[in-house]
Amino acid sequence: MPAHTDAMPMLAAAVAVCAASGCSHACARSVYLNELPRYAMLRRIKWWNALHINALPLLPRIPRSFIESDDWDEQLYTLHADRRRITGMDNIDSVRVMARFAAQLGGDGYTQGFLYLLRVLSWVFVNDDASLYWAFVSTVDIVRPYGPLGKTMGGVPQLRGVLPFADPDFQSDLLLDLVSVRWAFILFAQTFPHRRHLLAVWDVVLTSPEYIHKVIAAMLLMYRFPNVADPMERLMLTMDNIIDTDEDTAALIARARVIHVS
């Protein structure tokens, strides 16, 4: 595999080409290679540029008045609840990162699910508090419209474009609510339990956020349960689906790219 920054770590592009040609073994290998240490710096460069953190401002202060506020107490309760159910956070001072972030926003700071984003970013921006913080801020800017606050502001109207790819029996408004919060808002962190698969998907959606909808469309198209009679049960099975193999991850990325260019 060529190791230059224009092509790596976007191995997902190679995945798409080989999947479209039916070369499943090569696709899966591309996803596997995506986690190797020699590609870590190339991914960091890609994400650094995509998230526009190449000119880092100073880290904002965390005022004592905010730490002692009721707003932070409520957010901290939610944060600790998230910490108990999200693994892989032991080496991150997530409370400090989130306090710094929330102090700039008051009552609209930490939202359930943000730790999923911080965990993935910490895999790439290792031992660099400033880069990690500003990468998190930029990522929240991408996903906020899909979350609870975004919905009160009208959500993402373009998300309706995924409906033609879904089971026609699904109730459309409910489906959009679910894919928005459970998939888009946390960038598929619950769908891909293995690190290399999630990194491969993030390589696509962080560098080109329009691919968030393409990945959702691909998942709705590829993962259906026609043998289940109840549409609501089918919807829940779709939302709870786990993608945990190199082959399935490669096929999904390839399908998303096909949808994008079609």
Give the predicted TM-score (pTM) of the model: 0.86
pLDDT per position as a tens digit, 164-194:
999 999 999 999 999 999 999 999 999 999 9
Question: What are the domain boundaries of the chain?
Answer: 11-261
Which stretch of 30-44, 45-59, 211-225 has the lowest confidence by average pLDDT?
Answer: 30-44
- Going by C-alpha positions, the residue among 140, 251, 145 that lies closest to residue 201 is 251
116: closest CA among 69, 181, 65?
181
| The two three-digit tokens of residue 177, written as one number | 């609510």
Digit-coded pLDDT (tens) for 195-205: 999 999 999 99
Which pLDDT value is given to residue 36?
A: 64
Which of 165, 135, 129, 154 minimizes the C-alpha distance to 49?
135
Q: How far apart are CA 24 and CA 2, in angstroms?
A: 20
pLDDT of residue 195: 94
